[in-house]
Amino acid sequence: MATLLHRLGRTAYRRWPFFLLAWAIAFGAVVGFAATNAKPMSDAVTIPGIESEQAADLQEELFPESIDAFSRATVNVVLVAPEGDRLADEEYAAPIDALTAGIAELPQVARDLELVSPVAAAQGQEQAMLDAAKESGQPLDVARANADVLSPLSEDGRVGILSFDWDVESPTEVDPETLDALEELMADVAEESGLRLEANGSGMSAITELGLTSEAIGVAVALVVLLITFGSLVAAGMPIVIALVAVALTNVGIIAMTYFTDIGSTTPMLATMIGLAVGIDYTLFILARYRSELHHTDDRREAVAIAVGTAGSAVVFAGLTVVIALAALIVVQIPFLTSMGFAAATGVTLAVLAALTLLPAMLGMLKSKAFGGQVIRHAPAREADGLVLNNGVRWARLVGKAPAVFAVLVVVLLGVLAFPVKDLHLAFPTDGTKPTSTTQRQATDLIAQSFGPGREGPLVVVVDARDVPEDERGPAFGQVAEWAAGQDGVANAQVVMTNEDGTGAQVLVTPTTGPDEVATEELLADLREGQAGIEAESGATTGVTGLTAITSDVSERLSDALPVYLAVVIGLAFVLLVLVFRSILVPLTATLGFLLSVLATLGTTVLVFQDGALGIVEGQPIVSFMPIILIGMVFGLAMDYQVFLVTRMREAHVHGMSTRDAVVDGFRNSARVVTAAAAIMIAVFAAFILQTEPIIQSMGFALAAAIVLDAFVVRLVLIPAVLYLLGEKAWWIPAWLDRVLPNVDVEGEKLERPHLRPDQVLEPEDAFV
């Protein structure tokens, strides 16, 4: 490995124009393809095979005209009259008519759309249901109760709902300009009439551009850290430029991939977060090693080759652990997560390739100017033997004085932080989990207050009566509705639709609780538990679906897949680390340390985002796919620091140092760079907390917290403490396994490096060029 990468680094330095041109051509080709073939992104979270999807398939079979729950771009405009007034008052008739007429003229609205005021719609709907009840013999009070549940007008007449769908194939196709036009129309009507207008629904969720604020803050902090690390403006800028190139190519590639498969709208955000962080870090490690090698040779080309051969080998294996963790999301068998994982893994791969090829090419172009613009000069203290005495050495020796105490303190701290995990509640984000300042959240709160919280989280029971005698189908539909209405937590259940030949029906079940509440999930479970009984009684086949049921099933699938995913990721990465370190105990401690840090991260996230501690957001459920994404990313990143830190320890051990001395030497050479890399990642991730979307905020916070806990607590405290306690046993490996394993030479033992002879002094990379 080291020999191959040594050759690659040497070639990229010498042939730098060709490598820069190759990157430019690749970027141009991907941009060209994306510009001409890209398709809209998707927010569907469906999983083939889950119960709600099977029921949705049955619904489509019985009702071919039905639209998939994730494809409808519905908007609910909520109108509120001033206190003491009613929407039916004459003064509001003209403004409401102006609103309905204005909506019909908006972009992306079907030209044949006909809207009426909530007042007229409520009156017409109630009369139609009463007429139908008279014909069927249904009690009129039941018909009125059912009409009230579906009415677009509140009981007191103050609040009304005006609903329509955008004329698009999916919510992601709604243009931001269309939403701007709607909001402007609502503002004009509200100003002229005194009505309050808010809007929510899937049609109000056009893809939100992240903008440059979060990335800019992360990059700015990274620049400061790099400037402190290298003391050079040019050197500090190179990792950022290279990371931005890799991230840009990744995001354009994601857009291009929409031509071949569905890509979730949150995928670019995740790829940007991980790509920017690892892109800067990987380049930082190789550049720091290059600077170190310049102390031992005047041949810059050879220094680049050595840096790519040694630090580059660590980058390859560190990147490989991240790729394994992200690509392994395929075992979860959830399409949108698979696309997220592969997109982020592609970003990491490009970051590795950029560090291995684009960095040496830029160094070849800059030559002696690579460390130009010096603003900080560092003269480190030295010990009697000439080795640098820095804070890394001091810290390693401090941990070495009482390793057992440090190890116990870390385990206790992480255990305490992990405790809130027991209260973890997973759910998908809804309009009800958006910030209170948004119109979507305000509309949702108004609907919950005026119509009940279950109005926006209904369940749909699909009834298939094709095997029921024709004259018994109507009563069978009624039996199912009556059964559903009798469940705990149901506000209303009624047949809202039958198909043309009378073989199928849809029963709308309105819960007493909201879509993201535990009680609604329990109701769904109760309905499914009772399906066998009602099917035997009515003779019909039933299935429960709807947006609430689908997202609940997806959350359950994610929870069930988590242990399998953990086993696959940890198993593959353990094998990889055994290959890198040629040890059993070092990879084992690395893996156990990760488990502690990720549990502590989840506990902290529950405390801050679910319980609302610190006031960053209002308390709300954790988005369902966050834990599994977090585990995938954090495992890869944790192994990054393990590889970068411990490979330098193993390198020293391979060259004859004892384990205790090797730990100190590893901290002397790598602690400063690892600390800088971790600080950069924390800055990049934490900056996303400034976004307005809770899902992005929670991911940014969780990843930043994970790096704090894993890099600074586990890798810089627990791991050296454990290595001190293990001593020489840390590097033990069965003889038969040692013979079987290929020698990947991460430490660069096969490279010609005269300064590492026993009679030479090892210079760390803390001196500045």
Mean of pLDDT values over 626-635: 80
Mean of pLDDT values over 33-57: 78
The pLDDT value given to residue 126: 85
Q: Write the secondary structure of 727-748 as one string of H (helix), E (strand) and C (coil).
A: HHHHHCCCHHHHHHCCCCCCCC
Indicate if the pLDDT at residue 133 is higher than 60. Answer: yes
Mean of pLDDT values over 149-178: 90
Q: How many CB atoms lie within 10 A of CB 590?
A: 27
The pLDDT value given to residue 310: 82
What is the tens place of the pLDDT at every residue in 216-227? 777 788 888 888
What is the tens place of the pLDDT at every residue in 309-347? 888 888 888 788 788 878 888 777 777 778 788 888 888
Indicate if the pLDDT at residue 761 is higher than 50. Answer: no
Which one is predicted more confidently, 673 or 376? 673
Q: What is the CA radius of gyration of the chain?
A: 31
| pLDDT band, very low/low/confident/very high, at 763 (cuts 50, 70, 90) | very low
| pLDDT band, very low/low/confident/very high, at 370 (cuts 50, 70, 90) | confident
The pLDDT value given to residue 45: 58
The residues spanned by each domain of the chain are 2-40+208-430+551-756, 45-69+459-545, 73-206
Mean of pLDDT values over 286-292: 87
Indicate if the pLDDT at residue 68 is higher than 80. Answer: no
The pLDDT value given to residue 209: 47
What is the tens place of the pLDDT at every residue in 491-525? 999 999 999 899 999 999 999 998 888 899 999 99
Phi, psi for residue 492 in degrees, rounded to 5:
-165, 145
| pLDDT band, very low/low/confident/very high, at 487 (cuts 50, 70, 90) | very high
In the chain, pLDDT over 90 holds for what percent of residues?
35
CB 225 within 8 A of CB 676: yes
Please, how many CA atoms are within 13 Å of residue 106, restricted to the half-sphere of its CB? Answer: 30
Averaged pLDDT score across all residues of the chain? 85
Listed range (70-79, 131-140, 149-158, 358-367) with the worst mean pLDDT:
131-140
Which of 415, 411, 347, 407 lies closest to 636, judged by CA?
Answer: 347
Start-to-end C-alpha separation, the chain: 28
Indicate if the pLDDT at residue 429 is higher than 50. Answer: yes
The pLDDT value given to residue 758: 43
Q: How far apart are CA 87 and CA 154, in angstroms?
A: 10
Which one is predicted more confidently, 44 or 136? 136
The pLDDT value given to residue 759: 43
Sheet with 74-80: strands ordered across: 159-165, 74-80, 196-200
CB 464 within 8 A of CB 541: yes
Listed range (200-209, 217-226, 291-300, 606-615) with the worst mean pLDDT:
200-209
Which one is predicted more confidently, 475 or 432? 475
Listed range (50-64, 337-351, 464-478, 609-623) with the worst mean pLDDT:
609-623
The CATH architecture to which 45-69+459-545 belongs is 2-Layer Sandwich (3.30)
Listed range (92-96, 260-264, 535-539) with the worst mean pLDDT:
260-264
Mean of pLDDT values over 433-438: 80
Indicate if the pLDDT at residue 383 is higher than 80. Answer: no
Indicate if the pLDDT at residue 213 is higher than 90. Answer: no
| pLDDT band, very low/low/confident/very high, at 161 (cuts 50, 70, 90) | very high
Q: How far apart are CA 160 and CA 118, in angstroms?
A: 5
